Amino acid sequence: MKDARVLGVLGGMGPLAGATFMQRLTLLTPAERDQDHIPSVLWSDPRVPDRTAARIAGGEDPLPWLMRGIRGLEAAGCGAIAIPCNTAHGWFDGMQAATRLPILHIVEAAADELLRLGITGGPIGLLATKGTLAMRLYQERLESRGHECLAPPAEEMDRVVMPAIELVKANKVSAAYAPLAEAAQRLVARGAKAVVLGCTEIPLGISAGPALPFPVADTIDALARAAIAWAKPAG
Amino acid sequence: MKDARVLGVLGGMGPLAGATFMQRLTLLTPAERDQDHIPSVLWSDPRVPDRTAARIAGGEDPLPWLMRGIRGLEAAGCGAIAIPCNTAHGWFDGMQAATRLPILHIVEAAADELLRLGITGGPIGLLATKGTLAMRLYQERLESRGHECLAPPAEEMDRVVMPAIELVKANKVSAAYAPLAEAAQRLVARGAKAVVLGCTEIPLGISAGPALPFPVADTIDALARAAIAWAKPAG
């Protein structure tokens, strides 16, 4: 696919998030027929070693697996890469240094999504993996935009948030709704004006139940909007 | 991806059907963690010329576009190909003759789905594109298994079924539910024991409303089950 803006999607982390990214990319694209949609290639390799385990428990380095996917997307003729996995962005600099293709950064997309929601400053709740929190992927970027980041305490991360993320990866999506909705609610009770769903499994769980009564920045939708802006630049 | 059974998915026809196929492939796979899921590559090129227009209105031949995708999936290291578009199977023989990779046939998968539903003979309703009906992709295969195929009359195809398929391709999925559900109901009123949703846009529309009160063979799910059986053979 060499004659158009073809989007490369490095997915599989997890696979349901990657597939849902493709669905949201399609549904958010203005289109009247197949041929109006964005050509894209999804490289869905769920064998990439666990990103949180790699960062905080000495697990296998995912970077060689991530680079294998990027080489596949380059060979397919893609012009940019979107990675619907927040934790994988801990290896962003290594990936970006190794490819000439621009990689759309999911945290920048999430920050833009907050603006789109009309949230221009103040405390923001952050639901993410322990790896994403430990690597501080969100904290500096959001603080530079005038936000303070509130995350669940470590005990709640272990007891509630990480098990809920695992439920989604095990296809038990509906069961993830209640714990994630309650964790988000507790961040709002602590003063958050909005909650960033900063792990792409989390919006899948949150979508399985009633809409939350406060603003949330869904990082799957945020990255899809960034990809559409890349593929179909205005003007 | 050369060291596992990697599934190639020739999608984009339409793109929402391809993305939903990836989602259903994931949700139907027995898995407890990311690494249990099936490595796969989705080649989503929505620019493939319209299949029904090619077959019945002298439109551009889609085969060169289909072959471009197959070459991309071969290069990515895939071991088999699934095509979540029924009408594209009108070019099945040409594609299969040109690649060493096995292509899973969506009509065989649909026939297996009828068996899974306990339907072993008798009249079957068929909702599909005009192209699929004109190419008789289902009729011979289902008749050889003891089924008679009932399709909507030509006037209803033009007035109801084809416009509903176009609604899905234009992201107006909910609006497609009522016309498709009513067309399926009319086939059951004519004696069909089950209805094959023989265009991958149709289960998307049908999923947007209440479940139908008769058996339906969803060709997205049927092809996903065939792909899982290929990737994870029993025993």
The predicted-structure confidence for B221-230, as pLDDT tens digits, reads as follows 999 999 999 9
The three-point CA angle A47-B19-A54 to 5° equals: 25
CB pair distance less than 8 Å for B45 and A39: yes
CB pair distance less than 8 Å for A46 and B23: no
Tally C-beta pairs within 8 A across A and B: 145
Q: Which residues of B are catalytic?
A: 85, 199
Q: Does A3 touch chain B (CB under 8 A)?
A: no
B94 and B113 inside one domain: no
Q: Which residues of A are catalytic?
A: 85, 199
Q: Contacts of residue B167 in chain A, CB cutoff 8 Å?
A: none
From A92's Cα to the closest Cα of chain B, the distance in A is 20
For chain B, the three-class secondary structure string (H helix, E strand, C coil) is CCCCCCEEEEECCCHHHHHHHHHHHHHHCCCCCHHHCCCEEEEECCCCCCHHHHHHCCCCCCHHHHHHHHHHHHHCCCCEEECCCCHHHHHHHHHHHCCCCCEECHHHHHHHHHHHCCCCCEEEEEECCHHHHHCCCCHHHHHCCCEEEECCCHHHHHHHHHHHHHHHHCCCCHHHHHHHHHHHHHHHHCCCCCEEECCCCHHHHHCCCCCCCCCEEEHHHHHHHHHHHHHCCCC
Q: Contacts of residue B17 in chain A, CB cutoff 8 Å?
A: none
A214 and A112 inside one domain: yes
Rounded Cα distance, B55 and B50, in Å:
9
B101 and B169 inside one domain: no
Those residues with Cβ within 8 angstroms of residue B129's Cβ, 6 or more apart along the chain or in another chain: B51, B52, B86, B87, B161, B162, B165, B199
Nearest to B42 among A22, A37, A38 (CB): A22
Number of domains present in the structure of chain A? 2
Other C-beta atoms closer than 10 Å to the C-beta of B127 total 28
B166 — alpha (psi -120 to 50), left (phi > 0) or beta? alpha
- What is the pLDDT, as a whole number, of residue B1? 53
Report the CATH number at residue B95: 3.40.50.1860
B214 and B120 inside one domain: yes
Domain presence at residue B111: yes
Alpha carbon of B22 to those of A65, A71, B216: distances in Å? 20, 21, 20
Rounded Cα distance, B24 and B5, in Å:
18
Contact by Cβ (8 Å): A174, A180? no
A111 and A175 inside one domain: yes
- What is the pLDDT, as a whole number, of residue B192? 98
Domain presence at residue B152: yes
User: Edge to edge, what strands does the sheet with B216-218 contain?
Assistant: B147-150, B122-127, B195-197, B216-218
Which backbone phi and psi does B203 adopt, to 5 degrees?
A: -65, -25
% of chain B with per-residue pLDDT over 90: 94
Test mutation, A22, A66, A67, A207, chain B, max B CBs within 10 A? A22
Those residues with Cβ within 8 angstroms of residue A99's Cβ, 6 or more apart along the chain or in another chain: A70, A74, A81
A179 and A212 inside one domain: yes
Determine the residue of chain B that is closest to A166 in CA distance.
B33
- What is the pLDDT, as a whole number, of residue B235? 53
Task: Name the residue type at position B162.
Answer: M
B212 — alpha (psi -120 to 50), left (phi > 0) or beta? beta
Nearest to A34 among B14, B40, B77 (CB): B14
Closest CA to A203 of A216, A188, A186: A216
Domain presence at residue A1: no
For residue B121 the two structure tokens come to 């003979």
- What is the pLDDT, as a whole number, of residue A233? 79
B window 63-122, beta carbon within 8 A of A: 68, 72, 75-77
Domain presence at residue B73: yes
Rounded Cα distance, B134 and B141, in Å:
14
From A11's Cα to the closest Cα of chain B, the distance in A is 9
Determine the residue of chain B that is closest to A78 in CA distance.
B43
- What is the pLDDT, as a whole number, of residue A3? 57
A54 and A138 inside one domain: no
Those residues with Cβ within 8 angstroms of residue B161's Cβ, 6 or more apart along the chain or in another chain: B127, B129, B152, B179, B180, B183
Tell the burial category of A234 from Cβ atoms under 10 Å away from its Cβ (0-12, 13-18, 19+).
Answer: exposed
Look at residue B3 and tell me whether its pLDDT is greater than 80.
no
For residue B206 the two structure tokens come to 């049908």
A113 and A201 inside one domain: yes
Contact by Cβ (8 Å): A5, A199? no
The 3-state DSSP class for residue A10 equals strand
Other C-beta atoms closer than 10 Å to the C-beta of A32 total 12
- What is the pLDDT, as a whole number, of residue A234? 72
Domain presence at residue B77: yes
B28 and B130 inside one domain: no
Domain presence at residue B1: no
pLDDT digits (tens, 9 = 90+) for B142-175: 999 999 999 999 999 999 999 999 999 999 999 9
Per the prediction, chain B carries an average pLDDT of 96
A132 and A150 inside one domain: yes
Alpha carbon of B161 to those of A26, A33, B199, B207: distances in Å? 22, 15, 10, 16
From B223's Cα to the closest Cα of chain A, the distance in A is 16
Domain presence at residue A68: yes
The answer to ipTM > 0.90 is yes
Domain presence at residue B2: no
Look at residue B210 and tell me whether its pLDDT is greater than 70.
yes
Rounded Cα distance, A194 and A112, in Å:
13
% of chain B with per-residue pLDDT over 70: 98
B13 and B98 inside one domain: yes
Q: What are the residue ranges in chain A where pLDDT is below 50?
A: none
- What is the pLDDT, as a whole number, of residue B137? 97
Task: Name the residue type at position A33.
Answer: R
B96 and B122 inside one domain: no
Residue range(s) defining the domain that contains residue B62: 7-105+222-231
